[in-house]
Amino acid sequence: MKLVGSKFLDPEILSKIPNLELVARRLVEGVFVGYHKSPQLGYSVEFVDHRDYVAGDDLRTVDWRVWARKDKYYVKRFEMESQLKATILLDTSKSMDFGEGRISKLTYGSIMAASLAYLVIHQNDMAGLVTFDKKIQSYIGARGSRTHLRAILHTLGNVQPGPSTNVGEVCHHLAETILSRGMIIVISDLLDDPESLLHGLRHFQHKKHDVCVFHVLDDAELDFNYTEIANFRDIESGGRLAVDPPAFRATYKSRLDQYLTKLRDGCQHSGIEYNLVRTSRPIEKTLADYITFRSRRSR
């Protein structure tokens, strides 16, 4: 029986993504056995060296064999292997169900979420998924098994677009809920109050998470290349507005540019990675460029 949501995990897309690990810009505390090494010293299976014992050290770290040979106390030091925890936040509000091209924003975002979860788990790290509109609809904590990946795909396959969105409020709640520091990946059209959502994203930064935003928009939203007078309907509120596109296009583009600039500059000023993504752009290209970029930054 085919798994619900497996349609979002496309082997053809995955085959075109470089074989590079998704490296967090900062190695974070609390996530430990993938490809990542933490500069912190602690308990693990990988021995580093010895140091002299000092009062207060845990006696479990004393190397008693060395003591037997040298009659002096030495403490074992180990390098902790760090396992990345990546939590993917997918906006499933009504506006995400929009798409004038071959694919809706929600479908695009779902494929991105499934692909990123696969890549993270495939490199022996942990992936989690949160779907949300104006509130959290599903929460899957970060884990690293294939069974867990199936749970993520199952959740994606059962998504029903919700009402309006509230990115800022959801981020505030999750920033207080996700206790161990890790990577937060937000996939959304960000059709919300920019000040509110930026404040929510900064809450993750305050909690020492590594935050990345994929701002997914349809070509029609970015270019507004309509030619005939029509009634435009707000997908979330249901409100309608008669518009003459050629006459309104310059004003629309100006306001959109102001909005995008505010989001981009706000994210960059806070150290949040911001990526504007068109749904017409091949998903494998978006992911390949992003992973390559992060890999270079981590060197």
Longest dimension (CA), the chain: 90
Tokens representing residue 14 in the block: 């995955």
**How many Å apart are CA 16 and CA 1, to the nearest integer?**
27
**How many Å apart are CA 199 and CA 197, to the nearest integer?**
5
On whether residue 28 sits in a domain, the answer given is no
On whether residue 98 sits in a domain, the answer given is yes
**Which pLDDT tens digit goes with each residue over 112-160?**
999 999 999 988 889 999 999 999 999 999 998 888 999 999 999 999 9
SS3 assignment, position 13: helix
Tokens representing residue 157 in the block: 């396959």
Contacts of 53 (CB under 8 A, 6+ apart): 62, 73, 74, 75
On whether residue 1 sits in a domain, the answer given is no
Tokens representing residue 28 in the block: 């974070």
Q: How far is CA 142 from CA 149, 207, 229, in A?
A: 10, 17, 48
71 and 189: one domain? no
On whether residue 133 sits in a domain, the answer given is yes
89 and 122: one domain? yes
Give bridge partners of residue 243 from the DSSP assignment. 230
On whether residue 27 sits in a domain, the answer given is no
Look up the domain containing 243 and give its range. Answer: 6-19+85-297
- For strands 126-132 and 85-91, give the pairing: parallel
Mean pLDDT of the 58-69 span: 82
**Which pLDDT tens digit goes with each residue over 29-57?**
333 345 555 544 444 445 556 778 777 77
**Which pLDDT tens digit goes with each residue over 5-15?**
789 998 889 88
197 and 278: one domain? yes
pLDDT band at 90 (very low <50, low <70, confident <90, very high): very high
**How many Å apart are CA 77 and CA 268, to the nearest integer?**
38
130 and 112: one domain? yes
Mean pLDDT of the 221-233 span: 77
**How many Å apart are CA 219 and CA 281, to the nearest integer?**
10
186 and 260: one domain? yes
182 and 109: one domain? yes
Tokens representing residue 76 in the block: 């074992």
Domain count, the chain: 2
